[in-house]
């Protein structure tokens, strides 16, 4: 088996992995290997915003996972898209830029006992890589703005990034279209008591408004464009292996008995297996499904479960694959009259031609659309202590993702519980890395989640009944007004709800003495004996102890920004 050596090995060229590769390879003395199981992002539909329709469910760009049949969904199984391509989920997601709420990060700080996870300590790391259309200010970063993180870092890492003018890579723009029906929904939400907001990303996202998106001049802006091209590609110390899947971590013990991850074993297809060795660190960025799978295949996980699959436990870590959280959306469809929706605009060849021509010549219109354009954050009921539900509102309707648009004008208001109390699992089903793990989200398994589901559907109806929408005569087509009681609505949620593709938490961080934590507050994997595994970190959404109150892509970038600095500082301190 051939072998290659690097300073850093990053497993997964997705949201976190691309940023880490950019930051760590800025030091020309460090050799960085980035490994991606998928192919390069040269598929044209990745870059056209509406192309998510052709990327999700496509083996060219998607892992094609499915969940196990779920009791909370009345026995249904869901498709579970995850990006298998350079850029990862940032190449196939909804492009919504959303940080969540300040309380999310303050809760992380409480769980980990580390104040560096508080909102005010995370905000500068969001701003470092931001290129916000509104320019730099107290809440946002922009290309060319001086970063307080880099100004405060007097080490070689800070000096190197300042020298390279790092920062401002992650473009955030306003959407390039609007719809009368969505404007009316926003006005109706205000009439229902939800304030209008120009910015969901200031720490309290309560309000209604159009989402900001990760696009640049009408094109999707994924992390491969932002952080790899051309920056990393031009660095001789950077290497990318695509169509290469990590089969396991290489675990050893140092002379003092301390556990160490020394590298990875990689399946390259026709080239067979290759070993890549890391001097400083292996960084798992394979996501909330891939990361626990790799850890378990390597003998790090619940010992009893590993033995059942013929894997010798290296470290008994019961939290690996546990604590899965996700946002479950419940879609309400309202027929309307006297207003244009995408259903009617795209129901003829002429309409489709107009849509195509507008994008070709203006980079605007429906082909520049994120999957959801309008957002709203509010409380599911007055007794809720904080904003706990999110709306994704669309000027279209269909029976299910990937199905044809309906032949009548309509809009869809999808609502999700931002802070579910249900917890699921991700576990291997065999010792083969090629076998997809079992994903069991365990949706709607608590009374609290079922109550929020029922209450949120009532909020949807209250908004739709406001005067601002009356001129379009909205009629609830799905789920139907015949469902009224808590039991009816909760059962209905199980029939129609779908994932919004935000899995987190399966390798969660916590205090070093927290038996269920997989990583410590600096994202180092615990060794189960009060210490950490040398040379191994997890940097992706799997480390989130609780799900953020909004879309999860941008919080993952912030995690990576922090981790890059910690990794660089650790290398500077080592011999």
Q: What amino acid positions are annotated as catalytic residues?
A: 502
Describe the crossing of helices 119-129 and 553-573 by its angle, rounded to 10 degrees. 90
The pair of structure tokens assigned to 358 is 């507008």
Name the H helices within 96-155. Answer: 102-112, 119-129, 148-152
How many alpha carbons fall within 13 Å on the CB side of residue 573? 6
Q: Which residues of 2-33 are buried (b: 16+ CB within 10 A; e: fewer)?
A: eeeebbbbbbbbbbbbbbbbbbbbbbeebbbb
Q: Give φ, ψ of 313 to 5 degrees.
A: -65, 130
Could you give the CA distance from residue 53 to residue 31 in angstroms, rounded to a whole number? 37
Length of the chain: 575
Beta partners for 416? 329, 390
In terms of Cα–Cα distance, which of 231, 102, 238 is closest to 167? 231
Q: Measure CA of the first residue to CA of the last residue in the chain; give whole Å.
A: 29
How far is the CA of 95 from the CAs of 46, 52, 174, in angstroms? 11, 10, 11
Structural tokens at position 95: 């492009």
Question: Which residues, 6 or more positions from 566, have their beta carbon under 8 angstroms from its beta carbon?
Answer: 522, 523
3-state DSSP assignment of residue 231:
coil
Q: What is the CA radius of gyration of the chain?
A: 23
Any long-range contacts for 144-153 (C-beta under 8 Å, 24+ apart)? 144/168, 148/124, 149/124, 149/125, 149/561, 149/565, 153/565
Beta strands 215-216; 207-210: pairing state: unpaired
Distance CA 121, CA 105 (A): 9
Helix, strand, coil shares, percent, the chain, to 5: 30, 25, 45
Dihedral-angle region of residue 308 (phi above 0 means left; psi in -120 to 50 means alpha; beta otherwise) = alpha
Q: At a CB cut-off of 8 Å and minimum separation 6, what does 89 contact?
A: 14, 15, 81, 82, 83, 287, 501, 553
The SS3 assignment for 485 reads coil
Give the up-direction half-sphere exposure of residue 76: CA atoms within 13 A in the CB hemisphere: 17
Residue whose C-alpha is closest to residue 231's, from 415, 21, 48, 507: 21
Beta strands in 401-485 (DSSP E): 410-417, 425-427, 438-440, 475-478
| Residue 246 neighbours by CB distance under 10 Å | 26
Token pair listed for 543: 């480390």
498's tokens: 């779908």
| DSSP tag of 75 | T
Of 502, 476, 468, 505, nearest to 412 (Cα)? 476
């Amino acid at each position: 088996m051939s072998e290659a050596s690097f300073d850093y090995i990053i497993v997964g060229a997705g949201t976190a992995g691309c940023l880490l590769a950019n930051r760590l390879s800025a030091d020309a003395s460090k050799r960085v290997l980035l490994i991606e199981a998928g192919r390069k992002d040269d598929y044209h539909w990745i870059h056209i915003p509406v192309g998510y329709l052709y990327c999700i469910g496509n083996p060219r760009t998607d892992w094609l996972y499915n969940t196990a049949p779920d009791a909370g969904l009345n026995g249904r199984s869901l498709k579970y898209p995850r990006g298998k391509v350079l850029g990862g989920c940032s190449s196939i997601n909804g492009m919504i830029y959303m940080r969540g709420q300040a309380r999310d990060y303050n809760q992380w700080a409480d769980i980990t006992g580390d104040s560096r996870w508080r909102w005010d300590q995370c905000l500068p790391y969001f701003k470092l890589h931001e290129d916000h259309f509104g320019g730099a200010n107290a809440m946002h970063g922009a290309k060319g703005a001086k970063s307080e993180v880099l100004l405060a870092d007097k080490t070689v890492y800070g000096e190197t990034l300042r020298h390279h003018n790092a920062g401002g890579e992650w473009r955030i723009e306003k959407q390039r279209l609007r719809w009368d029906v969505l404007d009316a929904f926003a006005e109706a939400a205000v009439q229902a008591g939800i304030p209008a907001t120009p910015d969901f990303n200031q720490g309290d996202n309560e309000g209604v408004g159009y989402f900001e998106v990760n696009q640049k001049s009408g094109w999707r802006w994924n992390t491969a464009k932002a952080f790899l091209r051309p920056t990393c590609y031009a660095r001789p110390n950077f290497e990318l292996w695509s169509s290469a899947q990590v089969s396991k971590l290489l675990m050893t013990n140092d002379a003092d008995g301390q556990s160490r991850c020394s590298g990875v074993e990689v399946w390259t297809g026709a080239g067979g297996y290759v070993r890549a060795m890391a001097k400083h660190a292996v960084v798992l960025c394979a996501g909330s499904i891939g990361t626990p799978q790799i850890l378990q295949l390597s003998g790090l996980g619940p010992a009893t479960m590993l033995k059942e699959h013929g894997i010798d436990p290296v470290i008994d870590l019961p939290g690996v694959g546990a604590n899965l959280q996700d946002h479950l959306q419940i879609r309400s469809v309202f027929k309307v009259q006297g207003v244009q929706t995408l259903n009617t605009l795209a129901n003829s060849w002429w309409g489709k031609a107009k849509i195509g021509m507008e994008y070709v010549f203006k980079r605007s219109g429906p082909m520049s659309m994120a999957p959801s354009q309008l957002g709203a954050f509010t409380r599911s009921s007055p007794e809720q202590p904080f904003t706990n539900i999110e709306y994704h509102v669309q000027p279209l309707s269909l029976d299910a993702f990937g199905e044809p648009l309906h032949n009548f004008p309509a809009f869809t208001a999808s609502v999700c519980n931002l802070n579910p109390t249900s917890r699921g699992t991700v576990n291997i089903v065999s010792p083969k890395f090629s076998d997809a793990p079992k994903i069991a989200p365990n949706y709607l398994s608590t009374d609290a989640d079922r109550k929020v589901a029922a209450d949120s559907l009532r909020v949807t109806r209250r908004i739709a009944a406001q005067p601002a929408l009356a001129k379009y005569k909205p009629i609830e087509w799905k789920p139907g007004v015949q469902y009224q009681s808590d039991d009816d609505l909760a059962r209905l949620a199980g029939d129609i709800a779908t994932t919004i593709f935000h899995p987190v938490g399966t390798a969660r961080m916590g205090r070093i003495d927290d038996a269920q934590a997989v990583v410590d507050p600096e994202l180092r994997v615990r060794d189960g004996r009060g210490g950490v595994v040398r040379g191994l970190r997890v940097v992706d959404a799997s480390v989130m102890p609780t799900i953020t109150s909004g879309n999860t892509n941008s919080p993952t970038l912030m995690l990576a920004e922090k981790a890059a600095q910690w990794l660089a500082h650790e290398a500077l301190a080592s011999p």
